[in-house]
Structure formats: C-alpha cells, structure tokens
Structure 1
Amino acid sequence: MQELEDIVGKATIKSFSWEEIQKNCQNLGIVCEGHNIGSVHDGSYSSRSPWFIRRLKEKLISKTFEKVGEEFTNEVLVGILKHFQKRLEVQTLGKSNIFKDITVKGIGTHVMSAFVLGQVVELLNPLQAMILADETYGKETVVPSVNINSVEWRNKIGKEIYDNIQAKNVEIIDEVVYKMKLICDKTETDLMRLSKQLATASRKIPIRDQMKLIDEWMLREFRIENIERCPSVLHFIAGRKKDSIVMKVFLQNSEAQSEIFCRDHVVNVPDNAIFEFIDVTLKSDTKTSFKTIMQREEKGFRMRSETKKRMKDILKNKKDELFAKHSNLVSISMSPVNYSGDDVIHKECIVLYCLDADLIPFGEEPLPKSLEEFECNILEDFIQFGRCENCKALDHGCSVGRYGELSSGSLGFFAKKRSHSSHNGFLTAAHVALTDDVIASLNERKLSDYSFQNEIYQIVHPSFEDSASNNITGQVEDSFFGNYNCVGIDAAFIKTDALIHKNEMYYSSFSFDIDSDEEYDVTKKGRTTGETKGILKDCTFLIRRPFPDRAGVYLTLDNCYTVYDSNSQIFFLPGDSGATAYVINKTDNTRQPLGLAFGKMTNFPITFVCPIDKIADVLNLSILQPAEPMEIP
C-alpha cells in the first residue's frame, strides 16, 4: 500500500507541476466553433467577445486536464512496472530485464490505463466548473481585445489550473490509491482462484517438452514494427509452412519500397526465415470456380434448414474459441458444397477462410478438420476493409476521409440523431472515419460512451487522398465497431452543420426474409465502383478483424449480410467502404435500405454489409431519404 502511495505521489508531483501545466497550456492547439485557433506557436488570435473567450478558455482547460491526466496515468503505470522490475531483479539475481525501456502503450495495459485516467478525469472535471464559475458574461457583452495565443493569456489560465489542482492534490492521491487498492485486492483473489483451477487442470494434461514450447512461443515475437508508417502493409502473419519458417505479408498496391520497409523493420527474425509478399490487388480471379458453385446451388444443392440451424448453433458456441486459438483464421461460414481446388461436390460443410492453408502460426495448432459432426472446408482468402482510390458534390457514394490523412471511403446514408433533431449528418464506415488505434481502444463501445475521449475527429470531402484541399465537412459524433446484439457493425455518424437538408424519413412496406432460400437483388453506390448490382444470399459469415500493430488484438463481426457479385459486374472494391446498399423490390422496383458495405473477400466475390436497422439502433439515428443531392451553401 505504501509503495502505491509513493508511486502515485511522485506521478502527481511530476505531472501536475507548474512547468508541465504551463507547457501544455502554451503548446495545445484549440479548435472551437469551426475556427482553428492554434497555440502560442501560431499567429495571434484576438477576440472581444467574453462569451467566445470563455468558450476558448473552457476548451483550453479541458484539453490541458486531458493531457496532464494522460501524463499522470503514464507515470503511475510506468512506476508500477518499475516496482515489479525491482522485485524481479531481487528474485533473479539482477538478470531480469523484461521491463527495459517500457512505455504504457507498448505493454498492453490499456484497461488499467483507462481506469486510472477515468479516475483522474472524474476528479479534475469539477475543477473546470470552479474555474469558470465566476465568468457569467452575456453573449453580446464586449470587452477589451484578448489575444488567445499570447503567452501571457495562456500562462494566466495555466496558473488558475495549477492553483486549483494543488488544492485537490491530497484528495487526488487518496482517491486514486483507494480505487487501485480495490482492483489489486480483487485481482489477488481472482489469481488465487485461477491458480487452483490451473493446478487441477495441469494434472490432467500430458507433460510436453517445456523448453521446446518456450522456444516456439518466443518465435511469436517475429513481427514487423511501426507498420502504421507504411500504409501499403495491410496485415502479416508468421509461422511454419512445410518445414520452413515463413512471414507472409499482405500489401495494397505492392511496391518495392513496401517490401524494403518490411525487411528493414522486422524484428526477432530467424536467420532462415522466408518472406512471402502478397499484393491483394493482383490476386487471381476466381469467378470461374465461384460460378461453378453458384450453378450447383441453382440445380438444387441447397442447405437443408435443419442442417443450417444446427451449424449456426455450433458456430455460435465455437467461434470465440476458434478466433482466439487461430490467428490465421479470417472468417467462418457454412456451405451446401465442398470446394477443393477445381472440384466442387455437394456436401454440407463448415467453411474456414484463412490467410494460408499450409501455414501454422508459431505456438498454435492446425485448423480443425471437423467441428462436431461436420467436415471443415479450409479455403484461403483475405478480407479487405475498403480503402479509396474525385468527387465534387455531397451525395451517396462521395469521397470522404480523415483530416490530413491518406485514407478515404464512401459517404453512406444521410441521418439525424433521434435525441437531437438539429444534429444532422451522414454515415460512413467506422474504419474510414477513425484510425485502427482508436477502434481497438474503444473495444466494442460507442465513441460517445468513452467518457474520457475528448478528441475531435474531423472528416473531409473529398478525401485528402483525392484532394489536398482538406475541406472539413464535419466531425465524428459517434461510432461503433464490433458486435451489437450478435450482429457486426462498422459505422460512424458524421455530424455536419454545413448542409441544407431536403429529405424525409425512409418508409417502405417491402420486407424480406434473409433466412429463406429466396435471393434478392441489391444495388450499391460507392466511391470507387459507382452504382453496382449484386445478389443478397445470407448472413452466416463470422469475420475476424485483426489489428497487426497491436499484437494479438482483434474484434469480430458476426452475421453480416453477404452480397455476391452478379455475373456481369464487380459489386465492391476498396474505396467503397461506407457505401449505401439497398434491396430492390422485384414487384415495383422500389428500394429499401439494407446497410453499409464495408469489406470484401479477395479470392471470392463476396461483399459484407452491416444492417442499417442495427446501425440506427446502436447509434440512436433516424435514416433520411434525400429528395436530391444535399447542397453545400
């Protein structure tokens, strides 16, 4: 307990010092009401409106609290790990060095980090209200001009922050230590119970060569570092393949520089390792084989309803275990036919889509040949979460992307918040609007539920990749990536105040049954392929979305709609992520919203769509039908 108090006390002294607060107040940039105010390093920004000055002060205080809170959290966690290091050195005669050069982000302590930061933010938030309490000017009042980016004004605000934090110093230490002590006590109890369970289990497990097992697991450190600096690298996997050690790297638009980057940034690489580079944009066309499967299904080779129900139950019970144990696995589905090379036979089976059928990742077992009474058909594929490859008007399928980043996707349905009728905007895929790091940190939670997530994620139109204008059209108000009520969702709501809306709520009496054998025509409008048509088949795919820069971290998307390419055209390509998809009523040719297209198979012409009703539910939205393209005044 005393050690924890010392660690928290030292973190408080360092993170809440006048030097740190002064530095943050001067260096933090402010964006308010669409104005990029900047910091002391930018040009002067003056205002005579006390209401606006108060808003800017509120923004600066909030960002400073967030920054010092993060620094405090980092100091606490690093202090704890250094404490562990000292204890290990005593027990290992100084030979332990596992925490050398540690950083909080690099050690996977996101849960504890979020907890400590949450406690600090909870304690600091009331201080903001206290600092602002005395400023009650009317909106029309005018005062002498204030330079928001002057060192003097920033230091004045910093001094108010510093004085208020110092007054709460002891309370912050006591509260954080108390809450962390509760976690430690619970962890100790849980570990003791787990230890007993492991001891019981170990007596039932055959003894293996422990050193050989350790060596194999150490090879899992064979990886590529800093892959965020090379956008062409989509994913990588390493393991044993036919008696060779292989690293397989999946690239988007492969270039020699990308391969050089991978070789230069690989770590813990065995001397005899072989590299395989796969450009997913050059994968061979498998439409001929796929057409054969479709023809056989049309001849009556359809899955029996009782078999489909039994398989769904098996996948529901097994999918978490399969995805956790097999990093090679990208998707799970079921099929009435078994596909092996050029042979396609009528045999109901469970389909396991993997990155490489012959590669077994280090420390893992081969993919199962069967699940319960059903044979597994193991196929190779790679799921592309769409990117973008020029667009002037704001309409379905327009190019959108993150501010200042070479990322882009498609504008989806227009929508508005049910709880705030003035909050209008549009949908796109979450992985278009947010970085992988943010999505992984949210961990199947809405952005709006992340109580200490105060970042502003700006969206531009067209995307920065298509136009260097960086024209901001809105910002991410909410998002969700993961499973909601057992259905995969990849969606973000972009709020924008710059649009004149001329639309009405969607209404349709047309309904469809996805569990029936009937097929439905689907149309989509996306950034890359424009308006295309496909065939809605089922919703039995389970998808694994890895985050390669966070080793071992992944999320799953279950039971999304699957749309197959029609014979005449490709339905989806990278850059179409977030595109609107509709079901077409064959009777009167009307369209009903189906969802947002967000990804596709590489080898098989299958596109994934997350249902619009689930998106509207989780993000609390009403979907709007534009009478015409939305205008920008």
Structure 2
Amino acid sequence: MAVILNNKVKYKKASKTDIKCSWLKHPKSTQPKVTTTMEELFPPKQPGYSPSFPFPDVGRKSLSFYLVVSIWKKREAMKNLSGLGNNKSVLNLIAGIKNDKPTLKVFLSFDDQYAITFIKNHPEIPKETNVEFVVVKSYKEQRDQAKTKNYHIEKNVREILSKTIKNQGERIYAKHSCVVGLGIGNMDCNGQITPCIIIYCLDKDLVPFGEKPLPKTLEGFPCDIREDCIMFGGCFDCHEIAHSNPGCCIGLLLPNDNSGQIIGKVRESYCGNWGPEDIGIDAAFVQNYEQDNAAYRELQPADESELDYGDQLIVLKRGGTTGKTFGRLLDGSHSPCVNPRVDDVAWKWGGFYFFDRCFAIEDINEPFFNLGDSGSGVFLTENENPTKPLGIAFAKLDHEPITFVCRIDQVAKALKLRLYEIVETMDI
C-alpha cells in the first residue's frame, strides 16, 4: 500500500509477493537470489531482428491482404451477403485461398449477367478478392463423353472401399464444404493402377476459409480429387397431365407454370438416408385423383447378389428429356452431396444433403440422364430389354458422365410399396 507523508510517497507491504511462500519458509537449501533488470526483460530492438510471421502456411504478403483474410475467415461474411438470395441463378459459392489469393467462386445455373455484375460490385466483398464464375452446363448441351478407363477392382477390395466411404463420408462433407461427392475408382500411383476413393469437389485448388486441404488418403486408400458439381434432374411435364408419369419429379416448382392443375395427393416421400444401413433415397409417390384402369403385374427388384460391377452390366432407362437410353453400371457405393439453395436458411448454417450407397451409371455414347429425366426408372437388361428394376435416377455430375440412382428395393421398403408394371392388353 502507498502512504503519503509530507508530500512524499513511501511504500509499505506493497504486495503479498514480498512474503515468502510457505513451502520456502524452511527450504532444504537456500534459494539463490536472482535479480533481473528491466533492460533484460525488455531488450532494445536489435539490428536485423524480425518477429515470427503469423501466417507461415500461406506465404508472406502485405498486411492488407491478411486483413482481408481475417475478415473472410468469418464464414458468415460469405453466407450473409445482402441480396444474394434474390439472384435465383446462384446455385452455390465458396470463398477461400486459391494460389495464395483470397478467392470467391460462384456457380450459376445460366449465364446471368445481372447476377455477375451484382456480385462483382457488391460492397461487402473486399476489392482484393479474386472472383470466379462457373456456369453449369445446360441440359440442352451434350456432355463430354471422355472418361477415365475403368479397371477391374476385386470384390473384397470394393467392399472395403465402400465401408470407407460409409465411415468417412459424413465427416468429409461436414469438414470440407467444397466436397460434392465420393465414389470408388482407380488412379495412377507412380505408374501403378491402384483402387482409390474419388473425391468430387467444386475446386481442388481452393481451400475454403477456416478449413484444411482435402485429404490425400482415407483409411490407407489414396484419394483421386476431381472437380465437378452435382445437379438434380428435375421434370418438366408433371403439371400438364391428368396423371403424373411414373417416376416424374413432384417436388420441383416449375417457372412460368400457371396451370395450377392438381393431379393427385402425395402419400409418402423421403429425401435423405433411410433405414438401419442409412441408404440414400430421394423419392415420393402420388395417388392420382383420376382412376387408372390399366392392368398391372408385380415386379421383383434386382438383388445385390446379382450385381457384378466388374461384368460391365448394361442398364436402361426412359426419361422425359433423353427418352430411352442405355448406361453402364459402375458401382453401388457412390455418395452425392448437395447444398440447400442460397436463399434457404439451412445453407447459411452450412447444411447439406447427402445420399449413401447410390448406384453410379456411366454414359454409353450419349447422355444417359439429363435435366428433365428425374425419377426415371432404371432397369437391368437382357438383349437390350428391361428385366428387373434397379432404382430411380435423380441426379448427375456436371462434368463426368455419371448418373446417380437410388435403390428401388430400399424405396419400396421405406415407403411400404410393392412394384408393378403395366400389362399391355390387345383389343379383340
């Protein structure tokens, strides 16, 4: 404490630290007195001295650059750009570091110049940010048919890879916002073709703020990182007919649709992973208001034991856009992941939807599936004729010629359905 006497300040027991601790009252040996001066505690600046750099992983840049990074590391800065939800062409966006520069990458459903100008001039986006725009391919465009050669994968190895995707999938999607899917494939590792986990991502060179780079291995398997994005199929004719086509999409609100025609009632629906095995489903069924008097015959769905992914199985589907097409069954363990729309509050929270253990169908010579084909039934074939139902096509990759199909046997179990086909009758 301080005592003032005759304008002079004296100190008396200024601190309890003047009193030795109890464990030092009777030390085994006398403690050496150590005195440290202020000059030793705070030495003057030495020539050539520089403090350690706080951002060693990115590289030395200007202070203004790191101020930009510190702002963008707050994920809400990206998720809450004012007015973003009013631009319906914006499908998704990611922000992070790409080639040592802060980068914003925006995905558009079409070449929307208004949205591009809006984002480029947005006052909440730092001017130092590099902005990239990607327009996903229109359903009218033909996809690139170039593909990676598919090598045989032993059944036991495929099962282990499938379990790895199942074990790691949700964690990968939660930790890496740019990942849009996982699958099984092969890659060249030092000249040797090796089974691998395929990681589909929006940009393999961009690391979103607050996240780590994508993994190079998962449970001992190498990861082949490929750029792509997921697109749902949609359907265009459901609102113009008295009976909904079997398999057509009932969840899509069509633009410029003023018919207001009610064709039936949704009895059951499911979107997500279902059952004890958490298998991905995106399906619903509708009870038509107008009775259909056609004759039906019950069908048995394809069984997993019938599927030999190394045997180049050919499948068939009929869709509203592409009609009757054939594809090659590649795998039954692919997992697509999609984000909510940017105007959905779940998107701002970092929400995502993913579908485990989907079939992957590869194009043969022409697109197997495209926008407008959502809900198309996919069948195993024999001599180019359909045999057993395999699943329901609902999504595709934008770059690689891959279609995702949810398992029809799981849809039937989830919605408590039995499968039938229309029996064609002849008038006598």
Return the match for 2:395 from 599, 616, 619: 599
The yes-or-no answer on 1:386 pairing with 2:233 is yes
Which residue matches 1:529?
322
Q: Which amino acid aligns with 2:181?
A: S
Aligned-partner residue type, residue 272 of structure 1: E
Counting only pairs closer than 5 Å after superposition, residues 32-71 of structure 1 correspond to structure 2 as none
Q: Which structure carries more strand by proportion?
A: 2
| 1:580 aligns to 2:396 (yes or no) | no
**Contact 1:475-1:496 at 8 Å conserved across structures:** yes
Structure 2: tracts of 5 or more residues without a match:
1-53, 56-65
Query: Unaligned 5+ residue runs, structure 1?
Result: 1-207, 401-410, 414-427, 436-462
464 and 546 in structure 1: CA distance in 2 versus 1, 3 angstrom threshold: closer
Cα distance per residue 1:99-158 (max 9 Å; x no partner): xxxxxxxxxxxxxxxxxxxxxxxxxxxxxxxxxxxxxxxxxxxxxxxxxxxxxxxxxxxx
Match of 1:480 among 245, 264, 270: 270
Q: TM (normalized to structure 1)?
A: 0.50
- Counterpart of 2:58 in structure 1 is none
User: Could you give the per-residue CA deviations for residues 353-380 of structure 1, whole angstroms, max 9, x where no partner exists?
Assistant: 1000111111000101112322111110
Are the structure 2 counterparts of residues 510 and 322 from structure 1 closer, same or farther at C-alpha, using a change threshold of 3 Å? Answer: closer
Q: Is the 8 A contact 1:323 1:544 kept in 2?
A: yes
The whole-number CA distance in structure 1 between the counterparts of 2:242 and 2:329 is 27
Amino-acid identity (%): 31
Larger radius of gyration: 2
Which residue, out of 368, 387, 404, partners 2:215? 368
Aligned counterparts of 2:191 and 2:116: Cα–Cα separation in 1: 36
Q: Which of residues 420, 423, 427 is equivalent to 1:627?
A: 423
2:360 maps to which residue? Answer: 562
Match of 1:329?
179
Of 149, 161, 168, 1:318 maps to 168
Any conservation in 2 of the 1:389–1:575 contact (CA below 8 Å)?
Answer: yes
Q: 1:254 to 1:517 in 2, by over 3 A?
A: same
How far apart are the structure 2 equivalents of 1:480 and 1:226? 31
Q: Distance in 2 between matches of 1:509 and 1:386?
A: 23
Map Cα deviations across residues 245-296 of structure 1 (whole Å, 9 max, x no partner). Answer: 22211112222123234457x57422212221111116995422x0xx33xx
Look up the equivalent residue of 1:468 and give its one-letter code. N
**Per-residue Cα deviation, 1:292-312 (whole angstroms, up to 9, x for no partner):** x33xx3xxx311223222222
- Name the amino acid aligned to 1:361: P
CA offset digits 1:200-228 (Å, max 9, x no partner): xxxxxxxx99x999755315422345555
Residue in 2 that maps onto 1:513: 306
Is 2:107 aligned against 1:250?
Answer: yes
Root-mean-square deviation over aligned CA pairs: 3.2
Q: Equivalent of 1:278, from 125, 129, 134?
A: 134
> Can you list the C-alpha shifts for 1:538-590, whole angstroms capped at 9, x where unaligned?
112122121143220112101111111012x111111211122222134x934
Helix, strand or coil at the partner of 1:321: helix
Structure 1 distance, partners of 2:116, 2:293, is 47
Seen in structure 2, the aligned counterparts of structure 1 residues 310 and 494 have a Cα distance that, compared at 3 Å, is: same
Partner of 2:368: 571
Question: Do the aligned residues in 1 keep the contact of 2:71 with 2:77 (CA within 8 Å)?
Answer: no
State how 1:95-114 maps to structure 2 within 5 Å: none
Corresponding residue for 2:410? 614
Mapped to 2, the partners of 1:617 and 1:559 lie a distance apart of 15
Structure-to-structure mapping, 1:81-480, within 5 angstroms: 215=71, 217-223=73-79, 224-225=81-82, 227-263=84-120, 268-281=124-137, 285-288=143-146, 290=147, 293-294=148-149, 297=150, 301-338=151-188, 346-388=193-235, 411-413=245-247, 428-429=248-249, 432-433=250-251, 465=256, 468-480=258-270
C-alpha contact 1:239 1:245 (8 A) present in aligned 2: yes
SS in 2 for 1:472: coil
Structure 1 residues 490 and 469: alpha-carbon distance in aligned structure 2, compared to 1, 3 A threshold? same
- Where 1:570 maps in the other structure, the secondary structure is coil
Superposed displacement of residue 619, structure 1: 1.3
Q: What corresponds to 2:334 in structure 1? A: 541
**8 A contact 2:165–2:333 mirrored in 1:** no
What amino acid sits opposite 1:350 in the alignment? I
SS of structure 2 residue aligned to 1:287: coil
Q: Contact (CA 8 Å) 1:506, 1:624: kept in 2 or not?
A: yes
* Structure in which a larger fraction of residues adopt helix: 1
CA distance in 2, matches of 1:593, 1:261: 47
Deviations 1:153-207 (A, max 9, x none): xxxxxxxxxxxxxxxxxxxxxxxxxxxxxxxxxxxxxxxxxxxxxxxxxxxxxxx
Letter matched to residue 251 of structure 2: A
In structure 2, the CA distance between the partners of 1:499 and 1:237, relative to structure 1 (3 Å rule), is farther
Distance 1:611 1:244 in 2: 43
